Structure 1
């Protein structure tokens, strides 16, 4: 009897252990089999299908033309790239939160008010609808941009130190670049075009879609300049020149002949300015010869003017351009390295990519 009782206890303990093991396996399986709506996780934080769908719809809305419907493969390539961007944004958000650098509600509200200023509520709502965005989507976009800026400024830009020796070394190695054969104009501009929706590069993803909208938008910007608003800030927020928006519309130094060839009327207006002044609203043209036509409007600011000849190292504009160039290249390199480091440290699971590979293997 004792032997039977002992055997019974052993079988009972084995059954309990087995059931516990099976329960643990089931829990682990549940943990590693997320909802079909989870596209990826970053340190346990879900990125949902709805997030990716919003990014994809915004991408389609940003295209300059209504393209042919992409194949499933082409659409998934875009989605994979967009998901990578969402993952990177989440990594930066989490890092900023850890360092108490997340944008505050006050920061977001201030920037949102700035975005809405040129429009009536009806116009603002219409623009959101055109971009397949809700107000909450826009607030999230603003929050992430402000948070990213605060993080990069604290972790990268605040630590960059360009010395006078760095500037002297660069000048010595590139002196010929500062020997100009004709007068140079240091110009910034704010551009509004009347074409179809396309990527603009401005903070608001703001785009005029016809001539009437373009006229209204550029005049609103000109009015704000007249009341003392900062040119660079307006360019970053409203200009539709993706090549210069990140620098506050700064186009750098342009030769006199290049300005004249571009548009004599524009050159005439710029050449009459004093340093720091801005032009009235001027048309900008596309095409050449008989096909040339107005495609939008611009406002130009004269930042500086340099005569022909060798610009020496003691020239403040030379020093500033070298310092800014070195700073920008340093910041770009360090930012890339910093983002790679954060990505290496993060625990990322891309379920969407896994799903595509699994389907492809069938």
Structure 2
């Protein structure tokens, strides 16, 4: 088996292991919410819902990426060349520092060099993908960039956003260049990878049979969402309106106004995204995930409220030590084995297999592009030379 096949097999093995772990433990995902009101509840909230995490994670990742425009450097600072175009050590070092932080290895230690070599390979791959996108005529519009920039800014106040840029040592124009690169590569991958992946009913059935115990729910679970308003100012508030009640009086007026909006028919998720002050759930429309019945039994106040609701209904205003809450019951899942005929089971499996296949095809796709590119990894050559 050649190196490419070996790498693909290893990637597929890792992906299958992660996918299986997701199915086994995803329903038990912990989301740190309701501190001060119900810490036990947070330790047992189950099933991770990725909407907010994807948005906030994309923002955080984008703000940690290195600037795309390298500063002029001497030839000795060039660590790789892709079709004659240099990749500088400063680019690798910037990513390394943002990821490793103060706890990371420094200097030329073996661990640090190994980490930097991996980062360099990422940059090489990105350079190859961007070149192929240009050859394929794939571009992004300024309006697309504006939309993504708005998403990146939305979790932060202007002051916080500028501080993030300052910490990275880049300008907003530099960030726009990074956004352009990310969107361009995504378009290329969507066209040449994602669009070619399919998951059959037979694939879903085989996965279900292999992981059947993962779909056995041991107890009743309640799918909850919340809107929270805290009685004091906080730098952790990241709603779309950057709205923060700074005093107990303001908090009381705010929660009453939000409750009136909901009673008038406003969408709960939209109100949560715009005004909820819980930094962990606001951007996902207040979605807290699934809470097992045993957790509600340990929290009588919440249990009484939740069990008094029908799916789709909202609670009244709850006053707790951490602030005010409005709860919505999104759904109830009964215990027992969820069958393959359950549309939610099929959807969950389909998404897992789709991601697995996409990651494998993406790895192989990048390898084929590397085969046709002229790549010289000078850092790797230096490491080998030192060992001789």
Could you list the per-position Cα deviations for residues 209-257 of structure 1 after superposition, in whole angstroms to 9, with x for gaps in the alignment? xx8311x325857899x986978xx7xxxx988xxx9x99989766433
State the match for 2:129 in structure 1. Answer: 92
State the match for 1:346 in structure 2. Answer: 373
Residue 177 of structure 1: which of 210, 214, 219 is its match? 214
State the Cα distance separating 1:82 from its structure 2 match.
Answer: 1.9
Helix, strand or coil at the partner of 2:235: helix
User: TM-score if structure 1 supplies the norm length?
Assistant: 0.60
Aligned mates of 2:187, 2:179 — CA distance in 1: 12
Aligned mates of 1:335, 1:281 — CA distance in 2: 48
Cα pair distance change 1:305/1:58, threshold 3 Å: same
Helix, strand or coil at the partner of 2:81: strand
Could you list the per-position Cα deviations for residues 87-132 of structure 1 after superposition, in whole angstroms to 9, with x for gaps in the alignment? 1211222222222234333322221122223544433211211233
Cα pair distance change 1:96/1:248, threshold 3 Å: farther
State the Cα distance separating 1:304 from its structure 2 match.
Answer: 4.3
Residue 217 of structure 1: which of 238, 241, 244 is its match? 238
User: TM-score if structure 2 supplies the norm length?
Assistant: 0.57
Helix, strand or coil at the partner of 1:339: helix
Helix, strand or coil at the partner of 1:349: strand
Aligned residue pairs total 287
Helix, strand or coil at the partner of 1:213: coil
Cα pair distance change 1:326/1:222, threshold 3 Å: farther
Structure with more relative contact order (C-alpha pairs < 8 Å, separation 6 or more): 2
Aligned mates of 1:353, 1:326 — CA distance in 2: 35
Is contact 2:268–2:285 with CA below 8 Å preserved after alignment?
Answer: no
Which range moves more in the overlay, 134-143 or 179-188? Answer: 179-188
State the match for 1:42 in structure 2. Answer: 82
Helix, strand or coil at the partner of 2:376: strand
Is contact 1:179–1:310 with CA below 8 Å preserved after alignment?
Answer: yes
State the match for 1:130 in structure 2. Answer: 167
State the match for 2:115 in structure 1. Answer: 78
Query: Structure 1 residue 103 and structure 2 residue 140: aligned?
Result: yes
State the Cα distance separating 1:276 from its structure 2 match.
Answer: 6.9
Is contact 1:218–1:281 with CA below 8 Å preserved after alignment?
Answer: no
Aligned mates of 2:363, 2:225 — CA distance in 1: 28
State the match for 1:334 in structure 2. Answer: 361
State the Cα distance separating 1:307 from its structure 2 match.
Answer: 0.7
